[in-house]
Amino acid sequence: MKIILLGPPGAGKGTQARLLTEKFQAPQISTGDMLREAVRQGTKLGLKAQEFMKAGQLVPDEVVIGIIEERLAKNDAKRGFILDGFPRTVEQAKALGGIFSRSGEKIDAVLNFRVPDEDLVGRLAGRRLCAKCGAGYHLDFSAPTKEGVCDKCKSPLIQRDDDREETIQKRLDVYKKQTAPLIDYYNREGILKNINGVGDFKEIFRQVLAALGK
């Protein structure tokens, strides 16, 4: 299946992408993860992306479109993928449409996760990640057994730079201005499915499967 996950920061795209990956054996392609890895490695791309990400701004379209084009050309993406965090602007959506029209493929569904702003702020501000293995925690919903330490590999937990309160609001504003127009864009294409992103993540996943007809 070729699926796009749409929704504001903290809507649960990454969480649901991981469940879809397990279910359909299709890769999760997250531009956020790819950019963070580039920042971690200090590559030219990472150095360019870092300041935008830290400020809660989008990385320029031409940079992100280039990364995605390269990633989608890899063998493991040929049969299907879960796009998490791309496209994020109408320009990116048009570029993706161009890539697919050239190869004669099409997107099966765009899942739009709807969550109120007050829930999003709480989810992002409380998120912690393992610096080594990347395991995710939340201070209220899924706290580690020992504060600040990963249950799985015992490494320290960190907070994403852009999960600080002052940056979260900026990300939500950027989403409303630059990404929310994609809801209409894909609605007009007839492939948008709305998902209520509030509640237990397994229940949300059941909604996801139903929306996909699975």
Residue 125 C-beta: closest distance to ligand AP5, Å? 9
Catalytic-labelled residue, pool 36, 71, 123, 127: 127
Whether the bond into 87 is cis, omega within 30 of 0: yes
Residue 32 C-beta: closest distance to ligand AP5, Å? 2
* Piece of the chain touching ligand AP5 by CB under 6 A; list 54-62, 75-83, 97-105, 148-156: 54-62
Binding to ligand AP5 by residue 14, rule CB under 6 A?
Answer: yes
Q: 103 CB contacts (<8 Å, ≥6 apart)?
A: none
The H or E element spanning position 144 is none
What is the total count of residues that contact ligand AP5 (CB under 6 A)? 33
- Separation of alpha carbons 199 and 182, rounded Å: 24
Other Cβ atoms less than 10 A from the Cβ of 128: the count is 22
Per the annotation, the verdict on 127 as an active-site residue is: yes
- Separation of alpha carbons 45 and 153, rounded Å: 29
Residue 122 C-beta: closest distance to ligand AP5, Å? 8
* Piece of the chain touching ligand AP5 by CB under 6 A; list 48-56, 73-81, 101-109, 149-157: 48-56
User: Cα dist. 83→28, 31, 74 in Å?
Assistant: 6, 8, 14
Other Cβ atoms less than 10 A from the Cβ of 200: the count is 8
Closer CB to ligand AP5, 101 or 196, in the complex: 196
**Interface ranges with ligand AP5 (CB under 6 A):** 7, 9-15, 31-32, 35, 52-53, 56-59, 64, 85-86, 88, 92, 123-124, 127, 136, 138, 141, 162, 171, 199, 201, 204
Q: Which residues are catalytic?
A: 13, 88, 127, 160, 171
